[in-house]
Chain A
Amino acid sequence: MGKSKERIAGYLFVLPALIYMLFFVGYPVIDNIRLSLIDVNVMNFSSGDHPFVGLENYKILQREGILATTLTNTIVYTIGCIIIQFICGLGFAMLFSIPFRMAARLRGLVMISWLLPATITAMVFKYMFSADGIVNELLMQVGLIPDPIKWLVEPVTAMLVLVVANTWIGIPFNMILITSGLTTIPKDLYESAAIDGANTMKRFFKITLPLLKPTILSLLVLGFIYTFRVFDLVLITTHGGPVDATQMMSTYAYKLSFDEFKYSQGAALSNVMLLVLLVVGFVYMRLVNREEKA
């Protein structure tokens, strides 16, 4: 009796949000899948004659090497970003969790990088990393490099700039979620550990990290998702160049759909994105599941 009442209550809590999302996002996603299985392009757009082609659009992407290039780029970029921004975010969160007078204010300052529209951030980084830009100037003054580096012209450095820019945006996000996670760790755990003679390092690895695990998990997964779908930043900073070296799945799908009018191929590429993210989501669920059962 009580159990079933609880179950109904659970549904009442969850369903409104679920229905909302299914309606506003589920429908477009399904429509995208439909679009990827037919052929809609510039020549037959208006005729209404859109033949069913099965997986042909996916095969084209694979044949032309688009899939391999964009998938690799996106994954390199995503992994690079989430690792660095997590470490930096954790560092900031730990640093500001030490009670000192300016901690709160400094933490607030760090948040500002998150508030800047991606369009502007992209422009600032593009400007800073241009050949005559301030980054080259500073590096040369310190003596780290003899000549200016053409950051946005070479494939590897262009990717590096994107990773740095996105990390800059992502650090506050990591920091604040970790900070919020830190508050759930009971203080007396540290106190008793201190009495037991555990040093700072030991306390960090034995208490902080394990207890932060749920936070870290959702943080990494969310970070993966937000980074994986990056769009504006790449479009403005490198436009996918040089020679597709920073072309991401999202930017390429956009290019296919709205620049070359190959709507079905664009839809197919974004569905591959969805698939990758589904796998990540699934792995996350498994981990969470194990965590909650434990």
Chain B
Amino acid sequence: MRRFRLWTLAATLVFAIALTGCGNNSSENTSKESDNASATQVEKAAVEKKKLTLWFYFEGKERFDKLKTLTDGFTAQNPNVEIEPVYVPFADLKKRLSVGLAAEDLPDLVIIDNPDHAAYAAMGLFADITDEVSTWTDKDQFYEGPWSSTIYDGKQYGVPLGSNNLALYYNEQMLADAGVTPPQTWDELREAAKKLTKNGVTGLGISAPANEEGTFQFLPWLLSAGANYDQLGSPEGIKAFSVLADLIKDGSMSKEIINWTQSDVLKQFSTGKVAMMVNGPWQLPELASTVPDLKFGLTFVPKDKAFSSVLGGENLGVVKGDHVKEATAFVKYVVSPEVIKPFLQSFGYFPPRKDVAADPYWTENPQLKVFAENMEYAMPRGPHPKWPEISNVISQAMSKAFTLHSTPEEAAKDAQSKIDAILK
């Protein structure tokens, strides 16, 4: 009897495998079909192929397909090189690259968040392509900010792929109802946010988690006060922490911002729970598709001394290895004006190069105009090989100040001493 039970159990397990095995057949069929499709391409190429891999972290099939257009386009011009884009989630990318570096098991190309570029260059991930780039006339077309993020220690380790920055989104209806105009200065912001806060709506939403996303959102405020990441403890730095902490004290901004990602902030805005938010241009398509009726306007992030903007976006890095030549050729191909323009448009990016940025698509669209103007003076984060560490100190100080567990001054001073230790 007991043995019988064991056998039934075993049979159940086998049956379960068989069941899940059924799913296999159909999927194998589909993958065979796609194999056939690519097989014909292989025949055309005839010559021996070099296979490269590109790691990226953009989600969704649509964005994958757009990336595939780039790699396929390159293969069409260079039939002996094939580049396979491989998705690695953002949260995993750093770990995968570290592990890969240690085990020398890496892709040939990586699309990477621009503030991390210097750190990976310092760790020896990227190939030095200074010589290949020095004779390249296009290089003068790039904006200073994005371009400098690809340089470490005077050497070139990649090329900017696409840029973005932050602006203030506001709900037109709510502002009209409260009788306020879009705030331009910090004082106006505080007043406006107060008036907008009622009936379960808070005035402003930003994203302030204890990671790079939080730092990214904080820098415009810091820069506007006239400080930078190495002057957090200065009166200007303290002021930047204070202005946001005051909004929280007033109740015009939720403490929960320390847990909100930029997508969370978007959800709060699109569902009418915050009247204004700081966010990037990549959210525009999402707003258009999820809440087509919502009327919103865009303006600069309110200023203290001057309007400021921080550079977001990704770079294309060429990884050390056997395929540096092909990878560099691919990078140059991707950022050539005719190739990059449709790509940037489809991704909600801003052009890192001036000639493309002059296109009316960006300069004349009322929604994109604010971001386009921001691009002119967008400051890169760092560049510094220890940026990840610096960034953690900043976002940590934000958490302290915004949960009101420390005064802005304590948080800023403490962060300053930690950053001094990192920079020394």
Q: Which positions in A face B, CB cutoff 8 Å?
A: 42-43, 45-47, 126, 130-132, 150, 152-155, 238-244, 255, 257-263
Inter-chain contact B403/A153, CB cutoff 8 Å: yes
Residues of B within 8 A of A259 (CB): 94, 211, 388, 392
**A-B contact sample (9 more), CB < 8 A, given A43-B122, A257-B98:** A130-B256, A152-B256, A239-B211, A239-B259, A240-B210, A242-B258, A242-B399, A244-B396, A258-B95
Does any Cβ of A come within 8 Å of B332's Cβ? Answer: no
Does any Cβ of A come within 8 Å of B203's Cβ? Answer: no
Residues of A within 8 A of B122 (CB): 42-43, 45
Does any Cβ of A come within 8 Å of B209's Cβ? Answer: yes
Inter-chain contact A258/B254, CB cutoff 8 Å: no
4 interchain residue pairs of minimum CB distance = A46-B124, A258-B95, A45-B123, A260-B389
Which one of A241, A243, A260, A262 contacts B259 once the chains associate, using CB atoms below 8 Å?
A: A241
Inter-chain contact B101/A45, CB cutoff 8 Å: yes
A-B contact count (CB 8 A): 76
Inter-chain contact A152/B94, CB cutoff 8 Å: no
Residues of B within 8 A of A152 (CB): 256, 259
- What's the minimum C-beta distance from A122 to chain B, rounded to whole angstroms? 12
* Chain B residue with Cβ nearest A152: B259
Inter-chain contact B256/A243, CB cutoff 8 Å: no
Count of residues in B whose CB is under 8 Å from the partner chain: 27
Residues of B within 8 A of A126 (CB): 259
Inter-chain contact B259/A261, CB cutoff 8 Å: no
- What's the minimum C-beta distance from B408 to chain A, rounded to whole angstroms? 14
Q: Which positions in B face A, CB cutoff 8 Å?
A: 94-95, 98, 101, 119, 122-124, 209-211, 254-256, 258-259, 273, 385-386, 388-389, 392, 396, 399-400, 403, 405
Which one of B98, B273, B396, B399 contacts A261 once the chains associate, using CB atoms below 8 Å?
A: B98
Which one of A45, A155, A241 contacts B209 once the chains associate, using CB atoms below 8 Å?
A: A241
Inter-chain contact A260/B392, CB cutoff 8 Å: yes
A241 to B405 alpha-carbon distance, docked (Å): 12
Which one of A45, A238, A243, A263 contacts B396 once the chains associate, using CB atoms below 8 Å?
A: A243
16 pairs, CB–CB < 8 Å, chain A vs chain B: A42-B119, A42-B123, A42-B388, A43-B385, A45-B123, A150-B255, A152-B256, A153-B256, A153-B259, A239-B211, A240-B210, A241-B258, A241-B259, A243-B210, A243-B399, A243-B403
A161 to B321 alpha-carbon distance, docked (Å): 47
Which one of B254, B399, B403 contacts A131 once the chains associate, using CB atoms below 8 Å?
A: B254
**A243-B386 contact, Cβ under 8 Å, with A153-B256, A260-B392, A261-B123:** no
A72 to B204 alpha-carbon distance, docked (Å): 35
Which one of A42, A45, A150, A241 contacts B399 once the chains associate, using CB atoms below 8 Å?
A: A241
A152 to B399 alpha-carbon distance, docked (Å): 12
Inter-chain contact A258/B259, CB cutoff 8 Å: no
Inter-chain contact B210/A239, CB cutoff 8 Å: yes
A267 to B288 alpha-carbon distance, docked (Å): 46
